[in-house]
Amino acid sequence: MADLLIKGGRVIDPVQGLDKVMDLRLGKGRVVEMGERLAAGGADVIDAAGCIVAPGFIDLHAHFRQPGHEDEETIASGAAAAVKGGYTTVCVMANTDPAIDNEAGVEFVRKMADAAGLCDVLPVAAATLGRGGEQITEMHRLRKHGAVAVSDDGAPVRNAALMRTILSYAADAGLPVLDHAEDPELAGDGIMNEGEVSDITGIPGVPQEAESVMVERDAALAGLTGGRLHVQHISTGASVDAVRRARGKGWNVTAEVTPHHLLLDERKLETFDPVYKVNPPLRPAAVRALLLEALKEGVISAIATDHAPHRDEEKELDLLEAPNGMASIECAFSVLYTGLVEEGRLGIGELLAALTSGPAGVLGLEDRGSLAAGKRGDVTVIDPAGTWVVGEGGYASRSSNCPYAGMRVKGVVKATVVRGRVVYGG
């Protein structure tokens, strides 16, 4: 395979503190060098003039639905959506049917990802068999076969003693525990944030404490066990406080936030449109601002999409029956760039860190998340001035339950490069 020369782009690498117009050369699947006016030699060339050249995006949280719900997404269609969104690495959750809870499942995900040949798809295995919350999985084996973390995402670990065991055992196996923090009794039958809007609409509410009491519990258990805890889709101020306190004590606790918890708020539910139904639910605007602050502060170190595709006809289900989740992986960068960077609320370097080095750090993926020489040749090229309309011309995903559909956004992914090979655009 020929080398790839990405010419004349604004190279931003938060890890190296780099933001400069330069050329970047990739070869043998790795970053070779960067510098001004590099000779093309026999390399293929991408003209990146006017574009941002960043490390490939890493998504810590996506649902590609395979096996079991191929009508909603497959690993191939999910990967196609991911590279369209500039992602070069995606971690997929285990809440498939059957759940990914043994080495065959992990191997299956990797095989499907290889066959798709687009981005790196890293399996997150279930923490308990069948995500049933009873028997822990064979985490040593799972890791050997390619799992990068364990999580029962979608289902909280209700039993505190079991969570203690999971954290302890996963630490032995060298795996982080990704935590869907939710107290199911406190959440009850709620489907939106409990507050002013739920009071007016009568839509059953979930108090913010349904999340934060579990984050408090699990942070304490991370302290007890020395385990590696990563809080998924963090969505409340009290949860952020708990993570900040735990980190202050030197415990191994990190957190991710979703684009929708940064960009959308509970008022969207005034429409009763199930596209805004998501768990954890959209919060008040003030909480949205708190989460952004926590991201800038570093208490939250990654933005993860929680890409959750659902069949189109599910939009016509009533609000109680409609499933939770939003499909957003192909527009995540653009909506974040438009809503945060263009608005002056977040620096482009901060956004890129949350999409690259931040998530790499959460999983300890040392071979990516930066453009330093020797790292994987995973690169995303973005035209920051380009605009497009989300959903216009269809989705690469098999589903279209996207809350940003119809929005004109800025920031077009011009090329996605995985291991030195252009897998999207060019």
Report DSSP letters for 183-203, one per residue. Answer: -HHHHTT--EESSHHHHHH-P
Span near another protein by CB under 8 A; candidates 97-105, 315-323, 339-347, 380-388:
315-323
The answer to whether residue 286 forms part of the interface with another protein (CB under 8 A) is: no
Closest CA to 306 of 253, 267, 359: 359
Instruction: Assess 201 for contact with another protein (CB under 8 A).
Output: yes
Q: How many C-beta neighbours within 10 Å does residue 102 have?
A: 18
Q: Tokens in use for 229?
A: 């805890």
Q: Would you say 95 or 208 has its CB closer to another protein?
A: 208
Q: Does 285 bind another protein (CB under 8 A)?
A: no
- Verify binding: residue 224, another protein, rule CB under 8 A: no
Query: Of the candidates 180, 260, 283, 368, which one interacts with Zn ion according to CB under 5 A?
Result: 180
- Whether residue 119 contacts residue 83, with contact meaning beta carbons closer than 8 Å, is answered with yes
The stretch near another protein (CB under 8 A) out of 52-60, 200-208, 343-351, 404-412 is: 200-208
Among 29, 67, 130, 195, binds another protein (CB under 8 A): 195
| Rounded-to-integer distance, Cα 355 and Cα 55, Å | 9
One of 13, 23, 152, 153 touching Zn ion (CB under 5 A):
153
Any contact of residue 139 with another protein (CB under 8 A)? no
218 binds Zn ion (CB under 5 A): no
The yes or no reply on residue 36 touching another protein (CB under 8 A) is: no
Which residue among 35, 161, 318, 374 contacts another protein (CB under 8 A)? 318
Q: Which residues are catalytic?
A: 306
Question: How far apart are CB 238 and another protein at their closest, in Å?
Answer: 16
Residue that has been written with the tokens 């050997």 in this structure: 144
Kindly give the interhelix angle for 209-225 and 160-173, rounded to the nearest 10 degrees: 50
Partner whose binding site includes residue 316, from another protein, Zn ion, none (CB under 5 to 8 Å by kind): another protein
List Cβ<8 Å contacts ≥24 apart for 361-367.
361/254, 361/301, 361/302, 362/60, 362/176, 362/230, 362/254, 362/256, 362/301, 362/302, 363/60, 363/91, 363/122, 363/148, 363/149, 363/176, 364/176, 365/58, 365/89, 365/148
Nearer of residues 103 and 153 to Zn ion, judged by Cβ: 153
Q: Which of 17, 42, 202, 393 binds another protein (CB under 8 A)?
A: 202
d(CA 226, CA 246): 11
Q: Where along the sequence are the contacts to Zn ion (CB under 5 A)?
A: 153, 180
Q: Where along the sequence are the contacts to another protein (CB under 8 A)?
A: 188, 194-196, 198-204, 272-273, 313-314, 316-321
